Amino acid sequence: MPVQKTVEFGPIAEKLVGMIGSARDAFNRHSLASLGQFKNLQEAAGKEIEAAIKKLETQMAQAGAGDKAFLASQHGLLNRLQLIVATLGGLGEPISKKVKDNVLFSEKAVSQTNSLFDSQAGMLRSVFDFIQTNNDYLKKFVMAEGAKTVKDCAEFATEHETRLIEGLCLPQAAPIFLAILDRFRTLGQQEVELIQQLDKK
């Protein structure tokens, strides 16, 4: 019996993009409800990926050599997505602290964080579109945007240090902002690595 050769990536993509939207809303509105929705989506995405992995492992045990190679590549892709879910979920901790302690960011820090939310939502959609289509333009786009995200996070951190010295940012905002930047930087790196992994198939 031939194995099903595709994982349903659409529902996973929707949950990850939904996490970005909920995290952004929690960040901007200091919304505990949005923070709760973010955590629920993280849990749902994790379960969706775990179920897909178990299904693949069952198929791999029964598949022929040709199918096994394909299923193994899908398995590796799902493992990579688990890392992305965990990193994206890591945004919850600093945002939760910002919300619960009612920590205010400078206008510049808010603008920079929202630009990262925007670019990450687009990046995730493009990553999943590439998974489905193997489109060369999407590959180049994600690679370039991932590198830009890493660069932007480093520059935003440097600019923040300057604002802190000049007294334009509250000291209690610094570790929260830097933690958010670290999560986005790691996401950018992981998305580039995912594209590179797919490109080696």
Residue 180 lies in a domain: yes
Q: Which domain holds residue 31?
A: 10-199
pLDDT of res. 199 = 72
pLDDT of res. 5 = 52
> Structure pTM?
0.91
User: Where is 172: in which H helix or E strand?
Assistant: none
For the chain, what is the domain count?
1
Residue 84 lies in a domain: yes
CA neighbor of 179 nearest in space, from 82, 106, 109, 108: 109
Residue 79 lies in a domain: yes
In order along its 201 residues, the chain shows pLDDT tens digits of 344 456 889 999 999 999 999 999 999 999 999 999 999 999 999 999 999 999 988 888 887 777 888 888 888 999 999 999 999 999 999 999 999 999 999 899 999 999 999 999 999 999 999 988 889 999 999 999 999 999 999 999 999 888 887 777 778 999 999 999 999 999 999 999 998 888 765
Residue 2 lies in a domain: no
Q: What is the CATH number of the domain that holds 129?
A: 1.20.58.220
Residue 1 lies in a domain: no
Residue 137 lies in a domain: yes
- The CA-CA-CA angle for residues 192, 13, 195, to 5°, reads 20
Residue 4 lies in a domain: no
Residue 119 lies in a domain: yes
The size of the chain, in residues, is 201
- CA 8, CA 6: separation in Å to the nearest integer? 6
